[in-house]
Amino acid sequence: MPTTILDQVTLPDRWYHDDDHFAHALFKRQSTTPPSPSDFPQVGSPSWAAAYPVGTPVSSAMPQAWQNALNNAVQAGTIPNIQPSAANESGRYPVLPSQLCSNTYGCRIPGVIYDAPPGVWALSFDDGPLPPSDTLYAFLRQNGQKATHFFIGMNIVNFWPEFNLAFQTNQDDIAVHTWTHPHMTALSNADVTAQLGWSLQIIYNSTGGRLARYWRPPYGDVDARVAAIALEVFGLQTIVWNRDTSDWSLGLPGGTSPQAVGSNMQQWLSGPQNPGLIILEHELTDYSVQAFMTAYPLAKQYNWNVQSLASVVGTNGAYQNLGNPAGQPTLAPLVAGSNGSAGLTLPATTSTSSSTPPSSPTNTNSSGSRSQSTSLPASVKTGGAPPISRSIPLTLSVCTLALVFSFCLF
């Protein structure tokens, strides 16, 4: 029997790092023994809530250990020297240099995971925990279905009963979605560190000392600098998606409709299964939760293997598809990073979809975003229009002027 891609990859079975991971030292109390639940305040108690920022974290007030780890990574040359982006005239999208590869404008970034293994729907939800999460969690329990939840830190503080449902009752997988849901490429290195660090800290303190392995950038707004800070400082692997429901906009003026979401889900789940699906979905509103529940039976109808996202991606090799989505899959080879971390070198790929995020993110807003056109790594135009779908030859992550018109998205 020929060896398959899944035979070649040892898939992890949990969402958190081993106890000996380097980043544990940034969060645990100084002790010679692993932490136990009794070492932490009770989730929801005043002492538990008082430990975290109210609103946007102030990077100058973050733990010195986080700042030191960031400084060490910068000095080691593992954080690209890329300036933070700015807002365009509409105030919505970060404006980036035209030569910069950014997921926000359709360029697939080395080291970022976009695809699931063949035949797998890697299930995840953004922006919780929130009141609509209760309905979602009940549905998941009734169907014996595990999922990964990319939680906003402030939402954990404000909706801790829902957090406990996800973690304790459902025993689902927990991942990071920042503290206040900002455009991450617009932040300084220190502010990126604070957004991720506080999110990791509350998850660590609320799960008996578990250090999350994965994060998803709000709006999909990530570049090589932000992804490197997450990986080199905290050991966080960046995960985005290859299909976008735009379900965050359900019920909003000019937003998508349940019929449109249902049509897209029907198309994706009845279509090719190579690569597998990472679909952007939200536990944001009753509308978005209902859209998922309505589409879920299609997975069985079309023989998808539905798994929690965190259980089917990992550091032993991330599945990535070739330029032809119907072609044979390849494994991205690992490239060693500092602090025992690793980055991924990815093959070039093709495009998927795009959507438009809301203009003013808050702690409870969605991560609805412009999905990637997944060209690796090429320069992109930053005029704010959705990227043109095309397959692009593999080039350097920064286009030289001589290659701008050959290998860049317009």
Distance, in Å, from the CA atom of 180 to the CA atom of 368, rounded to the nearest integer, reads 14
Distance, in Å, from the CA atom of 126 to the CA atom of 284, rounded to the nearest integer, reads 7
Which is catalytic among the residues 17, 24, 181, 282?
282
Q: With 0-12 CB in 10 A as exposed, 13-18 as middle and 19+ as buried, what is 130?
A: buried
Q: Please, which residues have CB within 8 angstroms of residue 59's CB and are 6 or more apart in sequence? A: 67, 188, 190, 191, 193, 194
Which is catalytic among the residues 17, 24, 126, 149?
126
User: Is 282 among the residues known to form the active site?
Assistant: yes
Contact 367, 240 (CB under 8 A): no
Q: Please, which residues have CB within 8 angstroms of residue 358's CB and are 6 or more apart in sequence? A: 248, 249, 252, 365, 366, 368
3-class DSSP state of 116: strand
| Phi (first) and psi of residue 151, to 5 degrees | -95, 140
Q: What is the dihedral of CA 250, 255, 261, 267, to 10 degrees?
A: -170
Sign of dihedral through CA atoms 348, 381, 85, 351? negative
Catalytic residues: 126, 282
